[in-house]
Structure 1
Amino acid sequence: MEEIDVPTHFLCPISLQLMRDPVTVSTGITYDRESIERWLFSCNNNTCPVTKQVLLEADLTPNHTLRRLIQSWCTLNSSLGIERIPTPKPPVNKTQIVKIIDEAKRFPHTQLKSLRKLRSFMLQSERNKACIEAAGAVDFLATTVKSYGSSLTEVDIDDGSDLATASDEALSILYHLNLSESYLKKLVNDDKFVGSLVQLLKHGNYQSRAYATVILMSIFTVADPIHLVSVKPEFFTEISYVLSDQVSQQAFKAALKLLLELCPWGRNRIKAVEGGAVPILIDLLLDMTDRRVCELILNVLDQLCRCAEGRAELLNHEAGVAIVSKKILRVSHVGSDRAVRILTSICKFSATARVLQEMLQVGAVAKLCLVLQVDASLKTRERAKEILKLHSRIWRASPCIPPRLLSCYPSS
C-alpha cells in the first residue's frame, strides 16, 4: 500500500492524527476538537499543550479555513483510500441547554423528550458535559430524581411510567457528568435528594440502583462530618443489598468504598452491622478472586470488627474466621495486613474459649505462625506476634500447629 504523506499542519499537535474538526484556542494554536476537549475537560488541564500558557477561557473557535483545506485534501487523495471528513455539527452551547431545561419546566409533558436530548448532547463530548453543568442542568436533574423518589414513599409507581423513565434518564446524565466538587457538596446537602437515591436503591431497576450507588459514593466522598454521622440505618441496609445482588461491577466496588468512607463515623459501624453487611461480605469473600475487591472487603470487615456487634456477627458466621484466615498471604500485603487486623480485634476483645479453639481448628493460628516466617510487612508480623503471645498458654502446646511452624512461635 502506498504511503500517504499527510501535511504536518493537518495533524493535531496532541494526537498527531488528521484533524476532523480543527478548533483554535486563545493562544492561536489549532487542535482537533476531540483531542483538546479531552485535554481540557477529561484531564482537567488549563494550559495550551504546545505553548504551556494558561488558558483563561476554554473557548474553542472553529477553524473553518483549515477544515475546508483538509476536506479538499481528502477528496484529492480519495484514490488512496482517504475518506472525506464530514462537516462537523456545531457544538451545543449554554443558551441551547437553558432553553431545553426551561421548556421541560414550562411543559411537563415534554420533560422526557428534553432529558433524552440532554443525554444525547452529553454523550457527544466532554465539552458538552461541562456546558450542561454550567447551564444549571444539575438542579433540574436532581429535581426530576426527587419527584420520582418522593412518589415511591407514597405509592407504588410502575417502573415503566413516564415519571420512572424520566428519573432513569436524569440519573444516567448525573452519573456520566463527572460533577465538580461544588455541585457534589450541594447535592449531599440536599437531604431530599439523598433520600430519593436511597428509595431508588430500594425500588429502582438494576441500572438505576447502580447509578444511585455510584452517585452516593461520589457525594459522600466530599461530605462534611455532620452528614457522615447522620446517615440513616435504612441506607446501610440498601447498600448491603447492592453488594448481595451485585447489580454491576462498578456499583459493587462503589458500595464497598462507600461503606469504607462511612464506617469510621459515629454509630455507622453498628448501623452497617444491623443492616446485614457482615454475613454478606463474608459470603462474597468465600469465592472472590479479584485482588482489589478482596482488599476492599477485608478493609470493610476490619472497620466493622472494631465494634462488638461486628465481631459477634463475624464469629456467628460458620465461615467467618476460616475465610479471613485463608486470605492471609493469598491476596496481597494489604490484604494480609487487614486480615491479621481483623483477627487482632477478635483475639483482644472477643477471645472466648470457643473462639480460640476454632482458630486452632481452622488453621488461623498456624497461618499466624507462618506470617512470622515469610516476607510479610513489618506491621503485619508485629500484629501476628502480638496475637500469638496473647494466647500462647492455650495455643503453644496444641497438636494443630505443625512442628515446622511451632519452632517460630514467639516466647511470652
Structure 2
Amino acid sequence: MVQIKRLISTDSNFNQALHQLLAFDAIMDESIDTAVAQILIEIKTRGNAALIEYTQRFDHVHASSIKTLELTHDELHQSLSSLPAEQRQALELAAKRIKTYHEKQVASSWHYREDDNTLLGQKVTPLDRVGLYVPGGKASYPSSVLMNAIPAKVAGVGELLMVVPTPHGEKNDMVLAAAAISGIDRVFTIGGAQAIGALAYGTETIPQVDKIVGPGNAYVAAAKRRVFGIVGIDMVAGPSEILVICDGKTEPDWIAMDMFSQAEHDELAQSILLAPDADFLNQVAKSIDRLIDTMPRHDVIRAALENRGALIQIQDLEEACAIANAISPEHLELSVDNPEFWVDKIKHAGAIFMGRHTCEALGDYCAGPNHVLPTSRTARFSSPLGVYDFQKRSSLIQVSDQGATKLGEIASILANSEGLQAHARSAEYRIKA
C-alpha cells in the first residue's frame, strides 16, 4: 500500500501541512558547486584542451580534437533515417504541431508618431546564437530537443548549437533525429558543466552563445546558475509537479495514472489531487495501490508519492482554485465539468490542461504548447518557454525639433531635481529659444 498523505482543507492545521508538503530544499550541494566552479575556470582559461580532458574523464570518450566531437548534418539525418517509421512519424507530427503553436507567439516591431512628429516604438530582433543542452546516453529526451529548438528557430535565432553527452560513445538516435528535424545548426557530443562552460565562454572551436536553454543534472544546473549574467539562461528548474483538480466524475484510474506520470520522473517529483468527495479520494487511492506495481518505475513513483504526494479533500471547486493559485503548479489539470468556467479562476500555473481527456502527458510531447515550464511556485511570476525567450526588444526614440523643446523642459526639471546637471544641460541645449 502506498503511504500517500491525506489532508483536509477544513482542518485547523491545513495551511501548515500544505506549506510543509510544498517545501523543497533547493540548497546547492557545496561539493557540486565547488567542483563546477573549478570546471568553469578550466574551460574559461584552457578552452578546448580542458574540454577534451573533462570529456575523457567523465564520459570516457577519447578525442584528438573538439572537431572530432562535432556531428555532421549527414550523421544527424542518418539517425533520422534509421528510426522505425512509427517513431519518425511521431517526431515529425509533434514538431509540426509545436511549430504551428509557436508561430502564433512571434512578436513584431512597432512604432507610432505623436502630433509633433516625434517617433516612439519598439524593435524586435532575434538572438544571434543560442546553446541547447540535452541529456544524453541512456536518457532519451527528443521531446526536449523539439520544445527548445523549434521556438528558437521560429524566433529567427541566427545559429543554434546543441550539446549532448555520449557516455562511452553511446549516441541516442531519437535525440539526434529530433535535432535533424528541428534544424539545429551544430551538434557537439559533450556534456556536463564543461559543456555549459564551453557555450558560455566559447573555446577555440565552439563559439560563445548569447543564451543557454535545456534541462540537465545538478552539475548542469549549478553551471547555468554560475554563468548567468555572462549569458542568458532559460531557468533553473526544480522537480516536476502536477496538481489535479477533479470533481469526482473522472475515472479514478485515469487520475492515478496522471499522478504517476509526474511521479515517475524522480523521487522529488510532486503529485497532488484536490477533490471535494472523500469517497472519490478513496477510489483513487485504491487505483494507486492496484496500478503502481504495473509500472516499470514503480519504486520511483512510490517514493515520490510518499515523499511529496497528497490526496486533499476540499470543500468545493472554488476553494480548489484558490489552493491551486497558492500552489502555483507547473502542471494543472482541471478534470471537471465546464473547465472553461473554472480556468478563469486560475491565476498561477505553468500549463493548464482543461477537461477529462486532456492528460498532462499530451502536453509533454505533442499538443503544441511548450513543456518547459516554471516550477517551485515560480509560475507566480514566470511563463513557459516560448518564442519570446529568443527575441529581445530595443526601444526606438526619434524626437522632432518641436518635441525636443517640450520634452527638454520636462527632462531639465527632473534631472536638476536629481542633481544630475549634465543630463539637464544636454536636454536644455536642444530647447528652442
TM range (shorter): under 0.3
Of structures 1 and 2, the larger Rg is shown by: 1
TM-score by length of 1: 0.21
Higher relative contact order (CA 8 A, sep 6+): 2
Q: Which structure carries more strand by proportion? A: 2
